[in-house]
Amino acid sequence: MMKLAILPGDGIGPEIVAQAVKVLNALNLDLSMTEAPIGGAGYEAAGDPLPDATLQLALDSDAVLLGAVGDWKYDKLERHLRPERGLLRIRKALNLFANLRPALLYPELAGASTLKPEVVSGLDIMIVRELTGDIYFGQPRGISTLPNGEREGINTMRYCESEIRRIGRVAFDIAMKRRQPGQKAKVCSVDKANVLETTELWRQVMIELSAEYPEVELSHMYVDNAAMQLIRAPKQFDVMVTGNIFGDILSDEASMLTGSIGMLPSASLDENNKGMYEPSHGSAPDIAGKNIANPLATILSAAMMLRYTFNDEANAVRIENAVKKALAQGYRTADIVTDGCKQVACSEMGDAVVAAL
């Protein structure tokens, strides 16, 4: 039996995770699920955004399904008690260095994007974001007071070779798997090698690594240009690989190409494909508890979990097809609704996906 840790978290987390659990239950898998608090919910339950018991449960499980963390009401807490710290700590503790964020446009939603349909139709990008290094974790960091009394904030961007190489491998391997007949596998590595030494090294290591992948066409792009190209001509991209901070920003941008960030799942994997699965979006406290959030990113994250950690491609595809069917039937949550569609609540969207299974 596979063990799954369910960490609903804050804001809309509990309501969207409940829909994914409903879908998993409908598949009758040999799966045990145990719930635990994280983020603000962890702070409320145990005074810690990542309570020991939650971390232990995650360590003992084969995979983790997470909702989202964060709420404005915790913004005044000391930094180490804030919900986001719980998320960063669990990523680090589980060594989840490879964050996969697909940006896939469902044809039914072409009208929901702010870009012209012809620019985004058929879009299928995989952003591979390094998740346990970079300026997110580099030392020294902090806010201190200089001798002249002025305050100074410091963060440190750093990557060592092995960290770059292992995320590079993930990207090259995925590009090979995604290759369509008659097409070349492509990886675009995003850096700021014209200014930042950390990413100059990043580029060098990617070039070295590419020698082992002659079938893959490697290109490089500065992050500012990549941000522009994603809006100008997003279909030029297949797999993009980049560091933690650039990946954070570009994946939010890429999500909007698909109409709504409410559609995008993600997987965060360690070296053995143990993973944590979560929607790419946040906790949206402004709409929490109203049953209007879009649960599809979380449901699609459960599909990624079946694919990457449980090696159950058949059921992963079943979930993805059920989502497509629910969309084709016209069901839409508020964030993706367009004229002529049927606007439904979060839980109704979950029901529609279960019915479509």
Residues that bind ligand IPM (CB under 6 A): 70, 84, 87-88, 248
Asked if 306 and 322 touch (Cβ cutoff 8 Å), the reply is no
Task: Check if 312 is active-site.
Answer: no
Closest-approach residue to ligand IPM (CB): 84
Residue 58 or 209 with smaller CB distance to ligand IPM: 58
Residue 189 or 255 with smaller CB distance to ligand IPM: 255
What sign does the dihedral 130-131-137-143 (CA atoms) show? positive
Residue 108 or 130 with smaller CB distance to ligand IPM: 130
Give min distance, CB of 87 to ligand IPM, in A.
Answer: 5
H-assigned helices in the chain: 13-26, 40-46, 52-60, 83-93, 117-120, 161-178, 197-210, 223-232, 244-257, 296-308, 313-328, 346-356
Residue 74 or 310 with smaller CB distance to Mg ion: 74
Rounded to whole angstroms, the Cα distance separating 295 from 300 reads 9
Q: One of 60, 73, 184, 224 is an active-site residue; which one? A: 224
Give min distance, CB of 87 to Mg ion, in A.
Answer: 10
Task: Check if 192 is active-site.
Answer: yes
Rounded to whole angstroms, the Cα distance separating 163 from 158 reads 10
Q: One of 252, 270, 312, 351 is an active-site residue; which one? A: 252
Q: Is 235 exposed, middle or buried (0-12, 13-18, 19+ CB in 10 A)?
A: middle
329: number of CA atoms within 13 Å, CB side?
A: 16
Task: Check if 134 is active-site.
Answer: no
The structure tokens listed for 203 are: 């580029």
Give backbone dihedrals phi and psi of 345, rounded to 5 degrees, phi first.
-80, 170
Give min distance, CB of 312 to Mg ion, in A.
Answer: 28
Task: Check if 3 is active-site.
Answer: no
| Residue 248 interacting with Mg ion (CB under 5 A) | yes
Give min distance, CB of 135 to ligand IPM, in A.
Answer: 11
Task: Check if 73 is active-site.
Answer: no
Residue 241, contacted partner among Mg ion, ligand IPM, none, CB below 5-8 A by kind = none
Query: Would you please indicate which residues are annotated as catalytic (active-site) residues?
Result: 136, 192, 224, 248, 252
